[in-house]
Structure 1
Amino acid sequence: MSVLDAEHQRKLAQFKEEVFGEEIIHEGDSIGTDDETLLRFLRARKFDLPQSKLMLKNCQHWRKTVGGKGIDKLHEEINPFDYPGRSEVLKHWAMFVHKTDKVGVINCHKQGRPVSVQIFRELNLPELYKHITPEKHWDAICVNADNLTREILPSSSRAAGRHIGTAFVITDLKGFTLSQFWQVKSLARSSFQISQDYFPETMGRLAIINAPSSFTFIWNVVKRWLSKETQEKIDILGVDYRDRLLELIDADSLPAILGGSCQCKEGCDASGAGPWMDERRARANGQAPGVEHDASLLEQTTDDDGTADEQVPNKNLDIPEINGESAQKAADKHQQDADPSTANDISMLAESHIGYDGSAPKPSVLAAASAS
């Protein structure tokens, strides 16, 4: 468990008493009722008890209502590693977890935080929605978001022999254009929103690689959606990212497309490789999941998962200059060049109909959008 000072221990105990007493949370809830789960909500609101309770209450409401049936029912219907249309999703907006990094590795245990990858170079929502409905796509996004805390992080913790509470996210923007940005703008905003509000404190760091010149304009839009705390966890690595990533991730764990040496037989994006998949295979073979570890290892964690001081030196959130062009000048130029009215109608329609509470898109609207 994370190491807390006396004051934070007192607040955790009070928070636990109040959220159970007020029936905001109940034993057995799939959100998790352990101290580490409760601490995520406390940390997200700087241990302000009323605000932390409100955040948890809103999260519980979302979990019961998302998709019109709740996240638990969606999990029964959707296997995050194998659902109809997944191959097309990976082709047109690749989002996947793949093995772990090596941050905070203890003794002989090689495993660290799960690595979550998003690749935008082939993003094409109109083509994607020929193969999967926008509603099913959104449901899959929500199930994958929830699976991080439901399966991925617990499996990573068991493999590492200590608490792992965050993921390391890599976003590859190679070839990402403004027209693609307008396609995905609303979905990206809603995705960021559910991550911040309903799965707080689960992103350890986010490394953006291969940022195009238009990223100046894109970032000026995106950062308005993000809390200050989230912005502080984002690092811009540009095109010279390989050496830095390999400091954090072993080459045989980093997909070859990102500069590593891993080439999973079924493709790194489709493989689901990592401790979570090892546990799934063990269960399929009738074996108990997880790995036995010396209990003393579980006590060797500091704040969160031992990565609080991990920094990437290339961080430059304001991005004052790209390719010799000032941020404001570049933003003005790209604003003139990018006409949202000619961009894909999916983003425009979804803006009004994908609730920022993470609710599902309205079927009639997105069905029309997918046909555009």
Structure 2
Amino acid sequence: MELDPKYDHYDYPTTAPVAKPGHPGHLTEAQQAQVHQLRMLLETEGYTKRLDTLTLLRFLRARKFDVNLAKKMFVDTENWRKTLLYAGQPLKIDGRTISLDEEIGQWDRDGSFKQKVSKYYPQYYHKTDKDGRPVYIEQLGKIDLTAMKNEGIEYEHMLVNLAVEYEKMADPRLPACSRKAGQLLETSCTIMDFNGVGFGNARQVFGYIQEASGMSQNYYPERLGRMYLINTNWLFTGVWRMIRPLLDPVTVEKIHVLGGNYQKELLSQIPAENLPKEFGGSCQCEGGCHLSNAGPWNDPQYAKPAWWEQNDGAIENRPTEIGHGEGAAAAGATATEGAGATAPAPAAA
């Protein structure tokens, strides 16, 4: 895999641990050329941020290395970042329109939002699984949107918080995990706990899941590693039967529906000392695992400032700098022939 010195300033491993087609360190010549081609097209249209190789590869894999489709997905994501949307309209909080790049470093700096929302909807990152990936946990049965609204927490606040957490998973959490593991980690291990979900709160639970899934699928491709759905009941089973055929087979392979007998399988993927006791592990963080934010991203040995803590991540574009190496030459040779060439690669969530 060719790295571009203009954009690729990684200080952590850049080769995927499993040699899957289209993944970092395991590219064909055609796929390498498509990375350069996508970057050149985006540079031509004036984009200056997030043009590093790992990011472009995630968008290309999500669209089976169709450069035109990957470009559209990238552009749609950048437009969404400028103005977050809710129900098709610009999302506003206290009268101000939310721009994600501006919000990341400012959101909940004192931790008060997390303290309040955790009482009605615990959602948190907590340590790592056996592959070194961050573990993300949501307790969906505890969602109480009415109680949150009474405390001044609107649906819009929840969506901004969700987007910021996606950003912080990408940086600093995943880079810190990659440094500790000594290999590139790009995905998370997720636990969705349905304990307490029933007829009374099913609508608000599944409504929020739909919003969250849409955000993940549309704007954060290739971030799902494994997902465990635990304490699912017959109500969820019926919904799952309907939506499963609509999902990409690669995505379905990552999702494990476990019901109430889940402890053994969770512990096969997550060390007991990293799994909260309420889910069958042995971890009991002081003050509660849901508020600890424990993980390599808080260990000085592996943690480093995220991009949004340093600068805006923009790179000045200069025509003479566009493209490097043999892949760039191949991309330049094919750019005038159309951007839709494809190479074998899996589609994934």
TM value normalised by structure 2: 0.72
Match of 1:35 among 50, 53, 57: 53
**1:335-346 maps to which residues of 2 (within 5 A)?**
none
After superposition, the C-alpha distances for 1:149-206 in whole angstroms (9 at most, x for unaligned) are 1322122112222211000111111221132120233322111111011100001111
Say if 2:99 is the partner of 1:99.
Answer: no
Q: Which residue of 2 aligns with 1:171?
A: 192
Give the corresponding residue for 1:62: 80
Residue in 2 that maps onto 1:328: none
Which structure 2 segments of 5+ residues have no match? 1-14, 16-23, 85-90, 92-96, 306-349
1:14 and 2:37 equivalent? yes
CA 1:90–1:221 in 2, change beyond 3 Å: closer, same or farther?
A: farther
Mapping of residues 78-117 of structure 1, within 5 Å: 78-79=107-108, 82-103=110-131, 112-117=132-137
**Matched length:** 271
Letter of the 2:78 counterpart: Q
- Is the aligned partner of 1:118 residue 2:146? no
Matched with 2:100 is: 71
From 45, 53, 68, the counterpart of 2:71: 53
Deviations 1:88-115 (A, max 9, x none): 3212111111111112xxxxxxxx1111
Matches within 5 A, 1:1-372: 1=15, 2=24, 3-23=26-46, 25-26=47-48, 29=49, 32-66=50-84, 67=91, 68-79=97-108, 82-103=110-131, 112-131=132-151, 132-220=153-241, 223=244, 226-279=247-300
Return the alpha-carbon distance in structure 2 between the equivalents of residues 237 and 40 of structure 1: 28
Task: State the 1:236 CA deviation.
Answer: 0.8
Residues 225-254 of structure 1: CA deviation (Å, up to 9, x unaligned): 855543332111222211111111111111
Q: Percent of aligned positions with the same letter in both sequences?
A: 34
C-alpha distance in 2, partners of 1:22/1:283? 32
Residues 40-49 or 227-236, more deviating: 227-236
Q: Normalising to structure 1: TM-score of the pair?
A: 0.67
Unmatched segments (≥5 aa) in structure 1: 104-111, 285-372
Return the offset for 1:224: 7.8
Higher RCO (CA 8 Å, separation ≥ 6 residues)? 2
Q: Is the 2:297–2:303 contact (alpha carbons within 8 Å) kept by the matching residues of 1? A: no
- Alpha-carbon distance between aligned partners in 1 of 2:134 and 2:114, rounded to the nearest angstrom: 20
Q: Deviations over 1:52-81 (max 9, x none)?
A: 00000000001111242311221132147x
Q: CA RMSD in A?
A: 2.4
Q: Distance between the aligned counterparts of 1:224 and 1:88, measured in 2? A: 37
User: Secondary structure of the residue that 1:85 maps to in structure 2?
Assistant: helix
CA distance in 2, matches of 1:175, 1:262: 22
The 1:219/1:147 distance shift into structure 2, 3 A limit, reads: same
Alpha carbons of structure 1 residues 224 and 128: separation in structure 2 relative to 1, 3 Å: farther
| Matched AA of 1:71 | L
> Aligned in 2, Cα 1:201/1:227: closer, same or farther, shift over 3 Å?
same
* CA apart distance, 1:13: 2.2
| Contact kept? 1:114, 1:156, Cα under 8 Å | yes
- The CA distance in 2 between the partners of 1:276 and 1:224, in whole Å, is 37
State the match for 2:340 in structure 1.
Answer: none
**Taking structure 1 as reference, are residues 282 and 35 closer, same or farther at Cα in structure 2, changes over 3 Å only?**
closer
Counterparts of 1:279 and 1:195, CA distance in 2: 29
What is the SS of the residue equivalent to 2:119?
A: helix
**Cα separation, 1, equivalents of 2:170 and 2:195:** 29
Alpha-carbon offset, residue 135 of structure 1? 2.5
String of CA shifts for 1:279-335, please: whole Å, max 9, x gaps.
499779xxxxxxxxxxxxxxxxxxxxxxxxxxxxxxxxxxxxxxxxxxxxxxxxxxx
One-letter amino acid of the structure 2 residue matched with residue 41 of structure 1? F
Would you say the 8 A contact 2:296–2:302 is kept in 1? no
Aligned residue for 2:332? none
